[in-house]
Amino acid sequence: MSKITVVLKDGTRRQVEDGSVWGQVAAEIGRKLGKEALAARVDGETEDLQSPVQADRQVEFLTFGDEEGRAVFRHTSSHILAQAVQRLFPGTKLAIGPAIADGFYYDLDSNHVFIAEDLAAIEAEMQKIVKEDYPLARREASREEAIEYFTLRQEPYKMELIQDLPPEVQVSLYKQGEFIDLCRGPHLPSTGMVGAIKMLSIAGAYWRGSEKNKMLQRIYGTSFPKQKDLDEYLERIEEAKRRDHRKLGQELDLFGIADEGPGFPFFYPKGMIIRNELEDFWRQLHRQWGYQEIKTPMILSRELWERSGHWDHYEENMYFLKIDEEDYAVKPMNCPGGIICYKRRPHSYRELPIRYGELGLVHRHERSGVLHGLMRVRCFTQDDAHIFMLPDQITEEIIKVFDLIDVVYKTFGFPYRVELSTKPENAMGSDEIWDLATDALKRALEQKGMDYQINEGDGAFYGPKIDFHLVDALGRDWQCGTIQLDFTMPECFDLTYIGEDGEKHRPVMIHRVAFGSIERFLGILTEHYAGAFPVWLAPVQARVITVADRHLPFATEVAAGLEEKGFRVEVDDRNERVGYKIRDGELEKVPYLLVVGDKETEARAVSVRKRGQGDLGRIPMAEFAGQLAGEVAQKK
């Protein structure tokens, strides 16, 4: 049999049998790869392992360790879910079933109303399909053939999807056992490769995400190659529930959402302490980095929002009102206000860069179905900054922002990754301006030596951006910081500076946040720390616990001495057992519990219990205050 050449990821050229499929190539490279490969990335496109090998193509094999490999694995799992449901509940119509982060779902139209008790039966049937180890066979069909097939099967949602395709397009179908689905693929070679499955929940979802369409039933699940991996994931899910900021916010009396204001958070006294500490940290850091703080109005005229482009590009997310018969909007972003501050007077090139920082409250209309505690709200405070600079200052300023954001995330113990988002479909400005801005961001990233991914088409409507995705204690990814480079707004608002030549020139603008929003960042911190905030953020840093009533005078003296040094202290003098009061302090996640009894009073010391470490023994008051001061100052 003749040989053909393929190119491996590292550039190695390999001879393989003509007529082979990609799965055979993986097995020839190595036994382990042959066992773990799930799909092939061929010249940048993901293909089935059953696809025939073509000469001179570059191939990389994807495993469960690759994001695309996991997507293929879980997309096949969604087909297994659909097959199981149609076996158990005949007549169920299929909509779509994609892979998502950490799992998959399928949207279904069924006369049966699915309840939580159905999930076990569905899961058992899916496991049966896995054991039956059906091969997944792909075949191409014409648009007309596919419509005819799904018409006979009475699958209206599949027919609608096909009818939306151009007439000349070939449609791909995947078959496993008796089950056939419309799908672009790729898929696993067989159902038996799905090692462990868990059905998770049921929800409602409108067909194609439109409230004008029928409400379907959505079944969520997840899958892994090995049961051990699934068990670890389910434990992380349970830990995430224990850390849920909405639950902890209520238990620790920090914040909440009232029925009278869906999407509009309330901060209680203890929550305000954490919030104020975050804002104080932000202000101190920005003073050090040369920012001037401003405050801009919450309501501004329609003319301003039309000029900025928000009226045309962001209208559906905005709140509007009339004042003296004129149209106004509640600001969804702070940037136009920062621009007005810049325009209030002429500027010389010698002044630039000008860095304005603002903790600005913005309002955005979010649908009720997506609201989620502090993570998705309708009003929030952005830790915004707008930098006005000369074109030749771009790289230097972006690198300074990198360094500032790095300090912020390291302070809280977050590792992070970086994405560069490029021009979206609804962008303002010419391709030339976008290319200029995108290239400038790339140069800064490369000069700083930062690894980054490209996120095509996800830039802001006025400019490309760099997004910072931090990783929390459970390994979850949160997009928080962002840097947006903007040549468009200075043009829209006719921003100028007087150059060295005495002529007017156009500045360049950076929009950036570090926290993202105070509210969301506080929610992330609550879950990251599981409510056990570091001492410098903790609403109560130390609680003095009396053994008996006679110890209250010394307990009060201890608390007063610490309060004079700026610490947040409470006294628990309730007529309860010491063990009970200690347990309460631990449940409320107070960093230090200071027990005072006869010996402590006599020695003018405190018996210290540190959160997470237990009893530290008896420590003189002055020594303990010094330790506490050092921990707060270092933001440990």
| Residues β-bridged to residue 594 | 544, 608
Q: How far apart are CA 348 and CA 507, in angstroms?
A: 11
Burial code (b: 16+ CB inside 10 Å, e: under 16) for 136-173 equals: bebeebebeebbebbeeeebbbbbebbeeeeeeeebbb
Q: Among residues 48, 107, 383, 384, which one is catalytic? A: 384
618 as an active site residue: the answer is: no
Query: For residue 223, is it left (φ>0), alpha (ψ between -120 and 50) or beta?
Result: beta
Q: Are 380 and 517 in contact (CB under 8 A)?
A: yes
86 catalytic residue (yes or no): no
Catalytically annotated residue among 364, 528, 543, 568: 364
Among 511, 512, 520, 581, the active-site one is 511
Q: Residues 218, 378, 465, 609: which is the catalytic one? A: 465
What percent helix, strand, coil does the chain show, rounded to 5?
40, 30, 30
User: Catalytic residue at 511?
Assistant: yes
Q: Is 581 a catalytic residue?
A: no
Q: Are 329 and 299 in contact (CB under 8 A)?
A: yes
Residue 262 preceded by cis peptide, ω within 30: no
Q: Is 91 exposed, middle or buried (0-12, 13-18, 19+ CB in 10 A)?
A: exposed
The label of the residue with tokens 């779902």 reads: 105
SS3 354: strand
3-class DSSP assignment, residue 263: coil
The greatest distance separating any two alpha carbons of the chain, rounded to the nearest whole angstrom, comes to 96
75 is catalytic: no
State the Cα–Cα distance between residues 578 and 595, nearest whole angstrom: 8
The residue annotated as part of the active site, out of 75, 275, 355, 386, is 386
Give CA torsion, residues 575, 581, 584, 588, to 10 deg. 110
Give the DSSP letter of residue 508: E
Token pair of 483, please? 């840097």
DSSP letter, residue 266 = E
Which amino acid, residue 618?
A: R
Alpha-carbon dihedral 532, 538, 540, 541, rounded to 10 degrees = 90
Which residue among the candidates 86, 176, 217, 382 is catalytic per the annotation?
382
Active-site hit among 41, 270, 335, 472 = 335
- Number of Cβ within 10 Å of residue 248's Cβ equals 20
Q: CA 276, 414, 404 angle in degrees (round to 5)? A: 65
Is 335 catalytic? The answer is yes
How many CA within 13 A on the CB side of residue 568? Answer: 16
Amino acid, res. 97 = G
Catalytic residue flag (residue 386)? yes
**DSSP state at residue 351:** G
Rg (CA), the chain: 30
| Cα 168 to Cα 152, 162, 171, 173, 183, distances in angstroms | 22, 11, 10, 16, 17
Residue 233 neighbours by CB distance under 10 Å:
17
Q: Do the beta carbons of residue 611 and residue 589 sit within 8 Å? A: yes
- Residue 5: CB atoms within 10 A of its CB come to 12
Catalytic residue numbers read 335, 364, 382, 384, 386, 465, 511
